[in-house]
Homo-oligomer: A and B are copies of this chain.
Amino acid sequence: MKCRRCGERAVVNMRQHKLGLCREHFLEWFVSRTERFVDKYGMFDGDDRILVAVSGGKDSLALWDVLLRLGHDAVGLYINLGINGHRYSEESKARVERFAAEREDVPLQVVDVGETYGRSVPELASERPGRKVCSLCGLVKRHIMNRVACEDQFAAVATGHNLDDEAAVLFQNLLRWQTGYLRRQAPVLPSTHPRLARKVKPFFRFYERDTAAYALLRNIDYVYDECPYAEGATTILYKELLNQLETRSRGAKQQFYLSFLQARQEGLFAQGSEELELGECEKCGQPTTAPGLCAFCRLWEKS
């Protein structure tokens, strides 16, 4: 297959777009496409300060890289969860720090959960054997991203979620018809409260294999391993099932997610009664629907 732009040998073949490109033109295409989607979905403006949540994986480092190349004021946020299995947190932190150092020390903020709050995520999880680690970890990360973004007045928090991630979550939400989640799942979540940061997913239209190709072709050194707690996670199964569909019918994943966004935009869903009034947590002040303490602050109360 040849590059559609220059006729050289294509190194990336995006079957869902019927498009093959050489290294150079793929990297160009990938960056300009990100820019187009940032504009199209009104994610942020050129002079906005963006907080990029970086885990050390391919998607988030690729996102930081693209935003920097586009000239955005993109500050990294690494959250050290304290996960020791496979030296996961150590390895991922090293990758993130190296990424920043290699780029003339672009600004990086590091929040260490154990140091800041007294217990790491695995320590917290061990106190709550009934609760899934991934759900607890998600809560911790969302709280910290939001806190840093609000305290330092970032225009938005950007995360590296790609189309495979979003399609898998949509599938998961549909398997139990979790209507609250279905109504809210979106590439842009506006701020609906002064202490709730805007959230954006600039890569939500890229297939995972294309974000991986970008990271590889840009020689970004990222953590290959999944978090050890993610092993056997159902989202991995959902991704596999959607990939089987994709193999059979090219573009199926994309169509599944984009037609969902379109159906919702065209008014498929009725107004939800779930849209609750947001109060403020008595301890941290972050918005919460719970009375008293928010779910994050309740984590740290000794039970």
Contacts and interface: CB of A to CB of B under 8 A. Distances in A.
B175 A268 contact: no
B245 A179 contact: no
B266 A269 contact: no
Contact of A241 (B234, B244, B268, B271): B244
A267 B260 CA distance: 18
A177 interface: yes
Interface string A236-272: 0100010011001100100110011011001111110
Contacts of A269: 268-270
A175 B245 CA distance: 10
Contact of A179 (B174, B237, B241, B263): B263
A252 B172 CA distance: 11
A267 B266 contact: no
A271 B252 CA distance: 27
A302 interface: no
Interface in A257-302: 259-260, 262-263, 266-271
Given A174-B256, A179-B268, 4 more contacts: A174-B260, A177-B263, A237-B244, A237-B248
